[in-house]
Amino acid sequence: MSIDSDFQKNRKKIGKEEGVAIWGPVSPPEKLGIRGTYVAVDWDICTGCGVCLKVCPQQLYEWMETSGHPTSEKKAFPARESDCVQCYECEAKCPAQAGVLFGPSLGLQTLFYVGWLTLPVALFFFFSLIIYFRKEGKPGEGKGLMNTTVLVDSGTSDIHKLWAPYC
Ligand code: SF4
Ligand code: SF4
């Protein structure tokens, strides 16, 4: 059994421990729920093997004592979630699949789409500058962009004029 990757929908946040969210149901010592929101560990699955503490380059996990829990007496606690650099080492190496990272919750999914939406704009300006430098910089015959002969001192506000012949 692995951590429910939809736990944020399927479980209820019942409180916090040292600023880290606790997702129920919780009924100590046997049922401890999930700790964390972006870097989350299901304490009812965690075996306390310590792999995540070893592999995390940010050393954001800490041990927490969980006496009386059926799977282990200590659990990995994602004490400093915000330090996560999303290397996914802990998720990939956790033998119990007790931990999970939430890229979408970290805004990565949004960033992914923002990146793709931004790309055409970036390409537009990139190619505009190539055209602009060729036209305004007056490089010598057969010379490239690095060989402009005139100081190009106008900005991107005129770029639309350069694209006019291509539109
Ligand atoms: S993804 Fe990397 S940085 Fe983030 S908690 Fe896991 S091991 Fe640490
Ligand atoms: S690697 Fe997985 S099972 Fe081991 S301590 Fe970390 S969360 Fe628990």
Taken in order of first residue, the domains within the chain and their CATH numbers are 7-106 (3.30.70.20), 108-166 (no CATH)
How many angstroms separate the CA atoms of 33 and 42, rounded? 6
- Alpha-carbon separation of residue 139 from 88, 96, 124, 143 (angstroms): 49, 63, 22, 6
pLDDT in tens, the chain (167 residues): 899 989 999 999 999 999 999 999 999 999 999 999 989 999 999 999 999 999 999 999 999 999 999 999 999 999 999 889 888 999 999 999 988 877 545 556 677 788 899 999 999 888 877 877 777 888 878 887 778 888 877 666 666 666 666 66
| Predicted local distance difference test score (pLDDT) of residue 109 | 63
Q: How far is the CA of 50 from the centre of ligand 2 (A)?
A: 6
The per-residue pLDDT for 156 is 62
Short-list 16, 54, 49, CA closest to 33: 16
Q: What is the pLDDT of residue 90?
A: 95
Radius of gyration of the chain from its Cα atoms, rounded to whole angstroms? 26
Say which residue the tokens 């770029």 belong to. 159
Atom of ligand 2 nearest to the CA of 47: 3
Q: How far is the CA of 144 from the centre of ligand 2 (A)?
A: 57
142: tokens are 């057969």
